[in-house]
Amino acid sequence: MVFRRSIANLDFLVSLNSIAMKAKKALIFRPSFAILFHRNMDLSKRVQPSHLDDFDRKILAILQRDNITPQRTIGDAVNLSAPAVQRRIKRMREEGVIRADVSVIEPEALGQSITIFVEVEVISETAEQIERAKSEFAAAAEIQQCYYVTGESDFILVIIVPSMADYEALTRRLFFGNNNVKRFRTFVAMDRVKVGLEVPVG
């Protein structure tokens, strides 16, 4: 579904009604999750490749599943002392290998039951305009993830909202109210099959 700034109000309402009908199924989710990051987490930070040995990788595998696992329990699992585990975790945090400690939140517990994916194409791709778009998308609380990508679209957004009315309000604020947005395409999630940020440790 392609939304254009020049779209007539009637067509816009018809399109939103179509999305809303599809969204009814989206309300029948299996338990789903959202990742809540520390506010000071800097996603733009580039981490230099770090030498990780087998102990580090085993520790990371455990922390990705449950980052409040006691260090003594981790030590027993990887055959290290608790102080040795603590030193390794501290080092990996300082190096940026561990970027944040997170809590996994149930979206529906907070009334955030609809997940939407949006492809955004901009008019001007100057460095200034792209950085401005990044800042605007990063500042929107409804946007869980934002990627600047190759291809026809310039951005891929992952959005979570309580209702389609909230999404409509968001589109008016972020897209229709933005002179540099050429078009955007909306995809409503029917089911969350897999959600997570776990990185294979090898």
| Residues 171, 146 share a domain | yes
Q: What tens digit of pLDDT does each residue of 133-173 get?
A: 999 999 999 999 999 999 999 999 999 999 999 999 999 99
| Residues 113, 31 share a domain | yes
Q: What tens digit of pLDDT does each residue of 44-78 get?
A: 555 555 689 999 999 999 999 999 999 999 999 99
Residue range of the domain that includes 128: 2-36+108-188
Q: What is the pTM of this model?
A: 0.71
Q: What's the pLDDT at 47?
A: 55
| Residues 13, 71 share a domain | no
Q: What's the pLDDT at 29?
A: 34
Total structural domains within the chain:
2
Question: Does residue 17 register a pLDDT over 60?
Answer: no
The answer as to whether 200 is a domain residue is no
Q: Tell me the average pLDDT of the chain.
A: 82
| Residues 130, 180 share a domain | yes
| Residues 94, 128 share a domain | no
CATH of the domain at 145: 3.30.70.920
| Residues 83, 22 share a domain | no
At position 169, the amino acid (one-letter code) is A
**Average pLDDT for 170-196:** 95
Q: What's the pLDDT at 42?
A: 55
- Confidence class for position 32, pLDDT limits 50, 70, 90: very low
Q: What span, in angstroms and rounded, lies between the C-alpha atoms of 86 and 84?
A: 5
CATH of the domain at 97: 1.10.10.10
Q: What is the 3-state secondary structure (H, E, C) of the chain?
A: CEEECCCCHHHHHHHHHHHHHHHHHHCCCCCCCEEECCCCCCCCCCCCCCCCCHHHHHHHHHHHHCCCCCHHHHHHHHCCCHHHHHHHHHHHHHHCCCCCCCEEECHHHHCCCEEEEEEEEECCCCHHHHHHHHHHHHHCCCEEEEEECCCCCCEEEEEEECCHHHHHHHHHHHHHCCCCEEEEEEEECCCCCCCCCCCCCC
